[in-house]
Structure formats: structure tokens, C-alpha cells
Amino acid sequence: MKKTMATSLVLTTIAVVGAGCGSNGEGGKEATPAAASVEASGAPSASAGTEKVELTFYYPIQVGGPLTATIESMAEQFTKENPNIVVKPVYTGSYGDTTLKTQAAVAGGNSPDVAVLLAADLFSFMDMDSIVPLDEFIAQDGDDGFLDDFYPAFLENSQVEGKTYSLPFQRSTVVLYYNKDAFKEVGLDPEQPPATWDELAKSAKQLTNEDRWGIEIPSSAPTSATWMFSGFAIQNGKNLMSQDGKEVYFDTPENEEALQFWVDLSKKDKAMPENVIEWATTPSDFLEQKTAMMFHTTGNLANIRQNAKFDFGVAMLPQNKQFGSPTGGGNLYIFKDIGKERQEAAWKFVKFMTDPERAAQWSIDTGYVGVRKSSYETEAMKQYTEQFPAALVARDQLAYAKGELSTHNNGKVTAALNDAIQAALYGKVTPAEALKGAQTEADKALASFK
């Protein structure tokens, strides 16, 4: 037992680094064919005398589909265009795993060069001093309008005090998925999804029957409850935190009203399960027609599109005072302790990964939103959105979207809100009490950053 304890805390770091190396090795193995072919095609330029830079690229995969292959072919393509830079993609599990492996690697002096990490974890990486701002690289390229092409709602989680620390890569918003067949069945217009909170509650009630819930809004830990709640908060007037990540506004009357609305969907309207709703099973419930509507990420669009055996629609989240949704997902970060030369190479790769064509392709393959405005002007995207207009909903919603909850000490602040929301959904405490408690906890967690 003692041994377990010791290993569990102090040596977990080592174990994690070890695991990181393990997957490093695996990633290397998987990438071998690609690397080999690259070496073959890149041989002439290598012999021309320039030294090769090898970049390690950590990335998580959060949605379904054979996406490792897509990432690897992108890396391969990049090396074709930049023969002196070889990118070694390392699949690192979920976002949580990726953050953990990255931090362990940084602490062990073996930092990756570039990684896709949660946009919301920005402050954590800043506080750990492991990333660099990108402004210098952007200025170097002399393209002043470069950032303007990215949707501002996505950049909100990248920028602090005038500096830009990451570029949006796989980004999403929350949308309302609804079962058109179920709408018809109960006499609702399938082309008129609910657009306000009142309509949402009303149609959810109407859609509920013995075998089917009206709506499911995920509320499981660690972040789905807070992500969903951000949406309600924005719709009711104001986002949950300040841009500098030092203050949160949990216990406002508007937020109490928002949480009450959410609680009422199950407690009063009986249109939503009363327990905590699991993030991962919500899409299956929707596909199995156990729920007629759900709030979920646009990142699931491809999955729903392929597997729904019924006619479904996608709509913006209903409004109260205004429309709104938090953004979510992962950004590309460049690391600090890797030296100037590698950072330059990493910047080239980051630009390559976010260029309009690639952004369009990634969006089509996954359902994530194209991160740049110009990605919607590409041929591939035009064709795709023509066939499948639902893909445009998330983009159109960006006009009303705001950054997701992201603060210093993000883990603790998010956990405080998460626990409060779950307790309120259970009816153990009133929304007002829950949010007051969360505010106190969060203030405590943020005190040392002021």
C-alpha cells in the first residue's frame, strides 16, 4: 500500500512521462511509413546541405472517425511543402490526457514543440510558463490582417492583455439537434425549431412521452455542465468571466434565473431526465430516439449525420435576452523551451494547419467549425455546405458566441461551478445557493492571482 501511495503521487509524474515516451514511440512507429516516404521524396533537399528540424506534435482526438490518418497525412503534406521540417504527430488521447502528458513532458525538460490543447487551458499554460505568445511571428510575416480572418469568438480564448497565445484549430459551439420526425409526430413544425427559452420548454414538454425525453442537456463532469451553463449565461446577458481570467460572475440574478430554467426542464416540466446526463451517451440517446432534442457540440455533426436513421435538424441555441453559445475545442500552441529555430519551424506548421483549405477540410471531416472566414469561400466548403446546410448553423451562431469559461486556476474554478450546477439539478440546493457557493469557492481559488 505504501508503495502504491508513493508511486501514485510522486512517481505518477515519472510514469506519465514514461507513458508519454511510450506513445511517443508508438506514434513514431505509426508514422513510419509516412516518414519513410517523406525521407525518400525529401532526400534531394536534405543532401543540399540544410539541416532537418524534427517537430513533435501532440494532438488529442475528441470526436469519432479515423482522424489519426487525416492528421498524419496533413503532417506528411506539410513536409512535402517544407522538406527541411519533419513533423512527428503523437496521438495523446483525450484533451485531459494531452494536457497531462504535455505538462509532464515540459516538467521533464522534454517539451513537445507544438500541440493541440484546450483553448480554455490558456491560463494554466501561461501560469506554468510553458508556451510563447505568437505576436512576434505574426508581426514577422508582415501580414497585419492575418488574425482578422479568424472568427473573433474563437480568438477570445486565445488573447490575454493584448497578446495572442494560440491559433484556433478544432473549434466548436453548442447547437440544438432535433428530431424532425418526432416534431411532426406531435404536431410541431419541423422547420421551426424552438428559438426562445419559452418555446424550448414548451416543445420539450410536448415531445416527452413514455419512451422518449423531450430534451437532454449534458451535465457530467468535468466540463459539460459548465460549458452548457455558459450558453445559458450568455443568452441571459453576460458571460461568466472577465477577459483577463481573474474574475468570475457566477452568482448574478441573471445566472440564477438561467440555472432555474435548466432545473425546471426536469423538475417542473418533466421533459428531461432528473439525474446527471452523461456527455458521451447523449448523442447515442439522440440517435436511439430516447430524446427528441439535445444540446451538443457541433463536433458531433459528422457522427449524427452518418448514424441518424431519421430526419434531423440543427439550430442555434434558443435565446432569452440574446442568442449565444460558448465556443469550445482545441487550439494550436507553440512551446517555450524549444529554441528559436524550432519555434520558427513550429510557426510554419501552425500556419499550415490553419490555412483556409486545411481548415475547410478539417471542418468537413469532423463537423468542427471552420476557424477562418475565408475557409467558407473554398470550393470544398461551398460544395459541402450546399449539400448539407446544417453545417452553416454553427458558423452563423458565431456572431453571438463568446469565449468559454477560462480563468486562472481553471481546474478549481470550473470544478466549483460544475459541482454547484450538479447539486442544483438534483434539487439539493436552490440555484441561488448553489451559485453563491460556487462564487465563494472560485473567489478563493482566484485570490492569489489578483
Partner 1 sequence: MAGSLGKRWRSEVFAWGLLAPSLLFLAVFTFYPIWITGVQSFYTKNLAVREPVFAGADNYSQLFSDSLFHKVLINNFWYMLGTVPGALALGLIFALFANRALKLRGFVRVSFFYPNVIPMIALANVWLFIYTPEYGLLSRLTDMIGAGHTAWLGSEKWVMPALVVMMVWKEAGYFMIFYLAGLQNIPNDLYEAAQVDGVGKWRVFWRITFPLLMPTTLFVLVVALTNAFKTIDQLFIMTQGGPNNASNLLLYYIYQQAFSYWDFGAAAAATIVMIAFMLLITVLQFVGMDRKIHYR
Residues that bind partner 1 (CB under 8 A): 1-12, 96, 100, 103, 123-124, 127-129, 220-222, 273, 275-278, 281, 285, 288, 290, 408-409, 411-412, 415, 419, 422-423, 426, 428, 448-449
Q: Is 196 helix (H, G, I), strand (E, B) or coil?
A: strand
The distance of closest approach from Cβ of residue 194 to partner 1 in the complex, given in angstroms and rounded to an integer, is: 23
Strands 53-59 and 85-91: parallel
CB closer to partner 1 out of 193 and 437: 437
The distance of closest approach from Cβ of residue 180 to partner 1 in the complex, given in angstroms and rounded to an integer, is: 21
CB closer to partner 1 out of 148 and 244: 244
The distance of closest approach from Cβ of residue 276 to partner 1 in the complex, given in angstroms and rounded to an integer, is: 4
Beta strands in 305-436 (DSSP E): 312-315, 327-334
CB closer to partner 1 out of 10 and 48: 10
The distance of closest approach from Cβ of residue 103 to partner 1 in the complex, given in angstroms and rounded to an integer, is: 8
Residue 105 in grid coordinates = 513532458
Please, which residues bridge with residue 86 across strands? 54
The distance of closest approach from Cβ of residue 275 to partner 1 in the complex, given in angstroms and rounded to an integer, is: 3
CB closer to partner 1 out of 218 and 367: 218
**Cα atoms found within 13 Å of the Cα of residue 171, Cβ hemisphere only:** 35
Contacts of 378 (CB under 8 A, 6+ apart): 356, 357, 360
CB atoms under 10 Å from CB of 348, counted, come to 19
Alpha-carbon distance 13 to 129, whole Å? Answer: 18
Amino acid residing at 314: V
Dihedral of CA 230/236/241/242: which sign?
positive
CB closer to partner 1 out of 21 and 221: 221
The distance of closest approach from Cβ of residue 12 to partner 1 in the complex, given in angstroms and rounded to an integer, is: 7
CB closer to partner 1 out of 361 and 414: 414
CB closer to partner 1 out of 78 and 213: 213
Amino acid residing at 96: G
The distance of closest approach from Cβ of residue 323 to partner 1 in the complex, given in angstroms and rounded to an integer, is: 29
Q: Give the distance from CA 252 to its chain's centroid.
A: 26
How far CA 303 is from CA of 65, 280, 281, in Å, comes to 8, 12, 13
